[in-house]
Each structure stands twice: as C-alpha cells, then as structure tokens.
Amino acid sequence: MRKPLVAGNWKMNGSHAMITGLLDGLTAGLTEGCDKAGVAVFPPSIYLSQVKEALDGSSVAWGAQNVCAQDGAAGAYTGETAVAMVAEFGCSYVLVGHSERRALYDETDAVVAAKFALIAGQNLVPVLCVGETLEEREQGETMSVVSRQLGAVLDSVDASLLNDFVIAYEPVWAIGTGMTATPQQAQDVHAEIRGLLEKRCPDMAARTRILYGGSVKASNAVDILGQSDVDGALVGGASLKAEEFLAICRAAG
C-alpha cells in the first residue's frame, strides 16, 4: 500500500513569526484524523533551520524547494545551495522540476535530471514535478509533455537512484489560477503516469506515489484525493493556513 503524502510548498512566503504560528497550529492539529498520511512542508531554504528546530521529533517532515544542479565540489556558484547543505538540515525531500523553476528560470529536462540524481544520491527523496500548460492541454499534448519530462529522468538517472521518489502532477494551468482539474481529469493523468512507470518496472509503478498539485483546497480535497491513483497532494497557497492545510491532510488520511 502506498502511504499518502500531503506536501506544502510555501514558495517565497514566510517570516519568523508567520512560521512559528503556522507550525504550532499544524503540529497541534495533526493528532486528529491525519495518522494515515505523511505530511511535509517545503519552506524557503533560509528558514530550514527554524523549521528543523520546530519540527524535530514531530510527525511532520520537511524538505527544500530547490538545490543547485552542481554538487559542492564543482566550484563556486554564488547564491546557490548544494544538496549536501539541505541534507545537513534534516530534509527528507527536495522538490525538483517545479513548473515555476522550468518557466521562470529556464530549467531544462536535462537540468532537472541532474538535480534529481544529486538529490537521490544524498539519500533524500526527490519530488519530481511534471505537468502541462493550458495551451499544451488544449492541443492534446498533456501526456506527450508529461512523458517527456518523466522520461528525461528515467532515461538518464542510474536505476539504483530510482528506488524511492515521488511524482507530483501539476497542471500548470491550475496553479494559482483558481482553476482545478476535475477529479476524473486528475485520475486519468495519474493513471497514465502510472502506466508509463509500469512499462519500465511494475514494482516501481506499484510503490511510487503520485501527488496532484493544482489549486488543491479543503473544499475539493476529498474528491481529488479519493481517486485510486492519486496518492496525495502538493499544496501551494492553502498550505500557508494551518486549518486549511490540516483539512487537506485529513482528506488524505
């Protein structure tokens, strides 16, 4: 059985005071009906120390939103964060290939694959984000885009690094727009992603969690997370409100 995962991507949001209040509310509320799902938060890296201190010993994991595509031995990369650095702060997960990194920072499939390999090589769990734009969906290219993005990793990363990773399907047209894929649309794409994994390795398909990430809220979480191939959610804005995020966690667990 795949244990559901609900992950909160805080993006470029946070302050010491805001994080204290959010994590206090989150850890206090997780005792009620959330025991069947894993929970993780992804703060801006500058706050990883505070998050680690607050969550050590709790059931909530934490991860980094991004790492450099080069390791620390490769030389000087001002402003970047090496994967070994986030590992020192107790991260369990690292996001890779998020649509905003692809669109705003021109991260190619090759860069995403390189980051994935570095993350998995540090015994951290990569959360590989894949998904199409509205134009690509309207042109019927959803699965060709998703297949290309996923294949870039599966084709280039050593098989030994593919034992434990998570996929997050994030339809770009549904991120921060208020638009959300219907439960059936989410299920259809998730099932096709699992089918792509099945062709590579049945065991990989059976164990890999596939999250939905596209304007997930408490109001739609039950229907989306109830789909057979949806193993949790990658949550954006709703993860910044403790009660809203807790409601999504309860829907998954």
* Six token digits for residue 245: 């995020």
Whole-Å CA distances, 187 to 40, 69, 177, 190, 198: 22, 32, 20, 5, 16
* Annotation marks residue 32 as catalytic: no
Per-residue pLDDT of the chain (253 residues; tens, 9 = 90+): 799 999 999 999 999 999 999 999 999 999 766 778 999 999 999 999 999 999 999 999 999 999 999 987 778 899 999 999 999 999 999 999 999 999 999 999 999 999 999 999 999 999 999 999 989 999 999 999 999 999 999 999 999 999 999 999 999 988 777 777 899 999 999 999 999 999 999 999 999 999 999 889 999 999 999 999 999 999 999 999 999 999 999 999 7
Whether the model clears a pTM of 0.85, i.e. scores above it, the answer is yes
* Annotation marks residue 190 as catalytic: no
- Choosing from 98, 100, 132, 190, the catalytic residue is 98
- Choosing from 132, 136, 170, 244, the catalytic residue is 170
In order, the DSSP letters of 147-189 are HHHHHHHHHHS-GGG-SS-EEEE--GGGSSSS----HHHHHHH
